[in-house]
Chain A
């Protein structure tokens, strides 16, 4: 069953077509990787899904509900959360507060709720705290609750981003280059972690450059080049696909790579 559907999605920035009529389905419960050379439009796809950009043409829908024109802050509530290519934690907040922000989309928040519904708010806050601690335990960070996020090690910060994205129990988790800057051992741990997250029923869509990781955990791979989807299939199929090899290594023949 398809969870997220991209239907003829195109976005143009002035004369540049960053994403060009992409059709892609992400199935419930799978691990799908999106790969492609630098500047292929992978991050733009994430920004389209999270409604930071609106597609010039085409539609994106989550379980049949259109995401187009939904404000960014509603996306998390609908069940899509993400991590970032470069870490974007709230560095001056505690680890626990960072994760609690991830649960912001659940339940109510406001000035009047805070002062008029004190008991309700307290209960809600306790629930959020419990969830946040569970998410931190899941990612082995429970002992760091009170630390400021900026004082964590790089690998811990990466995990904290994932915890923050998981706490609201999303349907779909977008991981933007989760292995960036990690050493080989950390990558092995990360692969394990991603599988564990998927086993809790969360669908995973990741952008990644590290081929070993991508080939190791993905069930399907989609390849983007100059905004166009040039291949889609199992790791084995993609690995032997001529268009993919050409996009990554060149064809060996002279060919202008500049699109007209």
Chain B
């Protein structure tokens, strides 16, 4: 059955792409859950992660895991610094100010990268040999396995961290009532920093994975990826962590399925069509709560 086989094939491709979106979407959703702002710079943090991975990979001494860990660490620090410099001073002002600041940060980061690394698209060095496994007619590349595996592992550890660690509990409490949490001894600034660190680290890791997968890194790659991930976060129900994971996968799958049915010119439009439909018909998203403001 060639159709079924083809569908399976596209499902795997969609899953790999969706994992990347889901990792970025997690950052959007976590930050929104805690301080109610959309950090539009996540796309650019994703791009920074890709470049960090690229630079590390070019040193030759580094294998894929070191590149991944290194890029994650660098973007974590980047996220914390961005929050300190661009968002914290605006914490008490209107949400719009923080949003505009985020857009500013995102332009700053991509322009900075153009300045430092040039505007051209760069290939990603081969960190490990790509191999293709064939199961019947159906193929899966080792890149896809690594992407889906790493993304799955990261999401699992995030889930465990948020559910079972003390800091995770403090994050969940802050999402509901910051003042009360602070009276229980929770340091709000610290929780926000940790949230930014985690969200940015996930986006950075996604950047390296995307660099490996598409074998292309360029300073504006974050714009579209970031917006699609935002659509994923809204689709899943912004503020909800499992929602962001599901939303990312759905957006990835839709995009790939759209390509399969010969709509590849519109491949970037699917995410935004979904975004518009969700906002029109179910603004709370798949996992979001109805009237409650945030998780």
Contact = CB atoms under 8 A, between A and B. Distances in A.
Interface of A: 50, 52, 71-77, 81-82, 84, 88-93, 97, 100-102, 104-111, 113-115, 121, 124-125, 128, 164, 168
A168 B182 CA distance: 14
Nearest to B157: A115
For B170, B176, B198, the residue with the greatest tally of chain A CB atoms inside 10 Å of its CB is B176
Given A108-B166, A164-B184, 8 more contacts: A52-B183, A75-B183, A89-B180, A90-B180, A100-B166, A101-B173, A107-B166, A115-B161
Contacts of A100: 166, 169
Interface of B: 161, 164-170, 172-173, 176-177, 179-188, 190, 194, 197-198, 295
Contacts of B181: 90, 101, 104
A111 B180 contact: no
A102 B184 contact: yes
Given A84-B180, A97-B172, A104 B194 contact: no
A93 B166 contact: no
Nearest to B167: A109
A115 B164 CA distance: 12
A104 B180 contact: no
A200 B166 CA distance: 27
Given A101-B169, A114-B165, A73 B177 contact: no
A97 to B, nearest CB: 6
Contacts of A113: 167
For A102, A105, A110, A113, the residue with the greatest tally of chain B CB atoms inside 10 Å of its CB is A110
B160 to A, nearest CB: 9
Contacts of B194: 110-111
A113 B166 CA distance: 10
